[in-house]
Amino acid sequence: MKSVEVVDLFCGVGGLTHGLQKAGLKVVAGVDIDPKCQYPFEVNNGAKFHLKSVGDLKRSEVSEWFSAADITVLAGCAPCQPFSRYSQGPRGKKDDKWKLLYDFQRLIIETGPTIVTMENVPQLIKFDVFSDFVTSLERHKYHISYKLVECEKYGLPQTRKRLVLLASKLGEIELINPTHSKPAQYLTVKNVIHGLPRLRAGKTSTKDLLHKSSSLSALNLERIKASKPGGTWRDWPENLVAECHKKTTGHNYVSVYGRMEWDKPSPTVTTQFFGFGNGRFGHPTQNRAISLREGAILQSFPPSYQFTAPGEQLDMKTTGRLIGNAVPVRLGEVIGKSITKHIKSYVGSDC
C-alpha cells in the first residue's frame, strides 16, 4: 500500500485541510504565521500546526513532516491581498506578501513533492509572479493545469471565483468536472442557514456562541428594514441614503448595504462579512447582518467547526477575518477528490 501525505502551507484555520481530509487525504502538518489559527486548525483536523512564516521554512523541516510517504502533496494558498480587486491597486514586489509565492515556489523545488496545489484569486494570473511560478514548475518536470473555478458549480452556496492550479510529476492532472451544472442545482442561502435560530442584531445565540451578529446603529437598523433581498440602497427613502452615495462619484457603488436572497447562493464571503455596510451581507429576512456562524457555513465549514478555544473571548473582527480568509471546505474537498482520482489513475487503488 502506498502512503499519501499532505503539508498545507498558509493553512489558516484549516478550510483546505478539512476539505482534503474529507476527500480521504492525510494532512500531516499545517503552517501559518497567525497564532489565532492554531486552535481551530488542530482541534478540528487532528493535524499539527506550526507557527512559522513560510519564508523561514527550510527544506529539512518540510521533508521531515512528510516522513517516509510514497506520494507527497504540497498545498499552498498564499495571502491574496496583493492581487485582489478589493485592494487599492497592485502593491508590487515591495509587498512582503507578494514574495510568499516565490517562497512557495522555492519549497516546491527544494522538496520535490509529487503533487502541488495552489488556490488564489483570479487576478493572480495577470501578474509575473504567476507565470514565473508555472515556468519554474514546468522546468522541474511537473505536468500543470489551472482554471478559474466558479465555486457555486461545485456545491458551494456562494458565488466565489478562485484560481486553482494542480501540478504533478506522475502525469497529466486536472480538476474534476463541476458537480452542479445548472443554476437550479446550486446550493442557496436558504438551503444552508434557514434552520439556524433567529437572532437580533448585536445578540448571541445561547446554543452556539459563534452564532453572533454585529450590533446596528439606529440609522442602519432603519436602513436594513428598508432593504429588499437582492436590492440596493437605491430602494431606500431619500432620508436614509448616505451623503457619499448621493454624489456622482458614489452613485454607482451599489454592492453595499444589501440583503442576501434566500433562493440564490450568497455573494463572496469576505473578511468583513459580519458588517451590514460592508457588502451584500444583510440577512434575507431578519434585520441584521449574517452571523459569524452563518458566514462559516456559507464557507462550507461544518456547523460544529470550532474557531475559539473554550473560555477565550470571541472577537468579531478577528474571527470574521479568519473565516473570510479561509479556503472554503467544499473547494478543498473538490481539490482533494481531483488529487485522489489522479493518483488512482496512475498508481491504481493501491494507496
- 80 part of the active site: yes
Q: Specify whether the CB–CB gap between 98 and 106 falls below 8 A.
A: no
Distance CA 308, CA 211 (A): 12
Distance CA 173, CA 260 (A): 36
The phi, psi pair for 316, rounded to 5°, reads: -60, -50
Q: How far is CA 213 from each of CA 199, 230, 255, 315, rounded to the nearest angstrom?
A: 8, 20, 20, 11
Catalytic residue (choose from 11, 37, 77, 80)? 80
Alpha helices of the chain — where are they, by DSSP H?
15-22, 38-45, 59-66, 100-111, 128-139, 189-193, 218-225, 243-246, 292-298, 316-325, 329-347
DSSP 144-190: EEEEEEEGGGGT-SB--EEEEEEEESSS---PPPPS--SGGGS--HH
The phi, psi pair for 265, rounded to 5°, reads: -60, 160
Element (H, E) at 163: strand 161-168
The phi, psi pair for 203, rounded to 5°, reads: -110, 165
- Catalytic residue numbers read 80
